[in-house]
Amino acid sequence: MKAEELIELAQEAMRHAYAPYSGFRVGAALLCADGTVYQGSNIENAAYSPTNCAERTAFFQAVYDGHRDFTALAVCGGKNGEITGFCPPCGVCRQVMREFCREDFVVYIAGPKGQYQERTLAQLLPDSFVL
């Protein structure tokens, strides 16, 4: 699957965001090794800290369904669903990715006007902790 197709699915996932507190809508699309794609959005909470990020929503659904082998993830976000800049994954999501992905896992960080940044997990989370 091309980066652009995965990014399109991440953009679609933004529409599923539950973000009444920040208004910042995030979408993610996770490509499994077998070609399956899981989408996720951020799901906020009145107590703030229980909020789940879009990336983790996608990962947790995929892992629940038995997937353990992942190829790439696309993520995008913006205030009121408008993509005006890049939305790199937060630190917690990077660590969750590392639980299930090798350091060569690819993350596409989509921005405005079809632009995207391509990063490996090693770049996003150097010297990572794994057991």
DSSP letter, residue 66: T
Q: Which is nearer to ligand THU, 73 or 131 (CB)?
A: 73
Q: Which is nearer to ligand THU, 46 or 131 (CB)?
A: 46
Task: For the CB of residue 45, give the shortest distance to ligand THU in the complex, in Å.
Answer: 9
Number of other residues whose CB lies within 10 A of the CB of residue 67: 17
Residue 74 contacts ligand THU per CB under 6 A: no
Residue 19 contacts ligand THU per CB under 6 A: yes
SS3 (DSSP) at 119? strand
Residue 14 contacts ligand THU per CB under 6 A: no
User: Which span (18-26, 65-73, 102-110, 115-123) binds ligand THU, by CB under 6 A?
Assistant: 18-26
Residue 14 CB partners (closer than 8 Å, separation 6+): 25, 26, 27, 41, 54, 76, 77, 78, 81
State yes or no: is 55 an active-site residue. Answer: yes
Residue 31 contacts ligand THU per CB under 6 A: no
Q: CA-to-CA distance for 106 and 29, rounded, in angstroms?
A: 12
Question: Kind of pairing, strands 116-120 and 37-41?
Answer: unpaired
Q: Pick from 8, 11, 24, 71: which binds ligand THU (CB under 6 A)?
A: 24
Task: Report the catalytic residues.
Answer: 55
